[in-house]
Structure 1
Amino acid sequence: MTAEAEVAAPTPSADADPDGSYGRLMPVTVHFDDLDSLGMLHNARYPLLVERAWNELLHGYGFTFDGDWAAAGDFCNVVRELRIGYEAPVARPGDYAVHLWVERLGTTGLTYGFRLCSADGGTTYARGTRVLVRLDADTLRPTPWSERFRACGRELLRSAD
């Protein structure tokens, strides 16, 4: 059996959300230098693409960070947990997407789900969750999300259905 035959081909996702009923599909680009020596997207690049997509999403809602943590507001947050499962290799550079949605919106914490997928959202390469905790810039202790941020988060909530 060849190495190519052992690598599973990506398959359409059962929860791909082709009708756009939850979350947001954010375009990302995989570059040649994101690939490892086997010609596949390096495992460390998946979370980087997700981070970039999340930041673009927040920028779209008008949240910005200019380097001043005291003024950063909701951008002053830390990652508490990151879980990712790799389902199929991304084996070429090009246009892809990250599907983002909110799983849980707490007072000081937020869990969002993500899928690295084809540009149309139909094929999933990796999926996971990331837990963020909002911090007070002075004390570095958890502090509540702003109401503005919470309103945006509610727009992205995936229903329990």
Structure 2
Amino acid sequence: MSVEPRRPVHPVPYGELVPVTVHFDDLDALGMLHNARYPLLVERAWTAYWHDRGYGFDGDWAAAGDMCNVIKEVQVSYERPLTRPGHYAAHLWIERLGRTGLTYGFRLCSADGTETYARGHRVLVRVDPQALRPTPWSDRARATAAELLRPQEAAEADAA
């Protein structure tokens, strides 16, 4: 697992900016970030975010707790091409926190958060490692996730 280096990032009105790095070999034949790399960079940012808060996975699903989850849905909208390797950020937040599922929102953006290259969401469901059926998030995970909940007024402004 590759963890991005920590650098100071600019504040955002909600959520958190997590640094990500685009490498030359992430670009496609047209010199743009390959479409499959956007969700990969966001996944790495989420992994770093949760890892920094004491969550991880060492190969034992029974001991993974809240990290034993599956992706139900991913949606990405590509806003503009990203054409250069370098330092960028993933703006991360939580749209909805349910009993067994949660919806992450994200933007892949410039390091300061001012330019957006792609945005989207991902729905996760926590599962029991033996039954592979939905199971509730722990109180600890709910408290950690609640720190990133997007305010309702921000969601309404973006929808307008």
**What is the TM-score of this pair, normalised by structure 1?**
0.88
For the 8 Å contact 2:88–2:111, the answer to whether it is kept is yes
User: What's the RMSD between the two structures over aligned residues?
Assistant: 0.8
1:68 and 2:60 are equivalent in the alignment: yes
For 1:69, give the aligned amino acid.
W
Q: Provide the rounded CA distance (Å) in 2 between the counterparts of 1:52 and 1:44.
A: 13
Residue 46 (structure 2) aligned to one of 54, 74, 82? 54
Structure 2: runs of 5 or more not aligned: 1-9, 154-160
Q: Which has the higher contact order (CA 8 A, sep 6+)?
A: 1
Instruction: Quote the Cα distance in structure 1 between the aligned partners of 2:146 and 2:125.
Output: 16
Query: What is the identity percentage for the equivalent residue pairs of Structure 1 and Structure 2?
Result: 69
Q: Over alpha carbons, which structure has the higher Rg?
A: 1
The answer to whether structure 1 residue 152 and structure 2 residue 140 are counterparts is no
The DSSP-based 3-state class of the residue aligned with 2:147 is: helix
List alignment gaps of at least 5 residues for structure 1: 1-17
Aligned partner of 2:156 in structure 1 is: none
How far off is 1:61 after superposition? 1.1
The corresponding residue for 2:95 is 103
Which residue of the partner structure matches residue 22 of structure 1? 14
Partner residue in 1 for 2:126: 134
Alpha-carbon offset, residue 20 of structure 1: 2.1
Q: State the distance in 2 between where 1:59 and 1:24 align.
A: 14
Is residue 12–residue 113 contact of structure 2 (8 Å, CA) maintained in 1?
no
TM superposition shift of 1:60: 1.1
Q: Which amino acid aligns with 2:63?
A: A
TM-score w.r.t. the length of structure 2 is 0.88
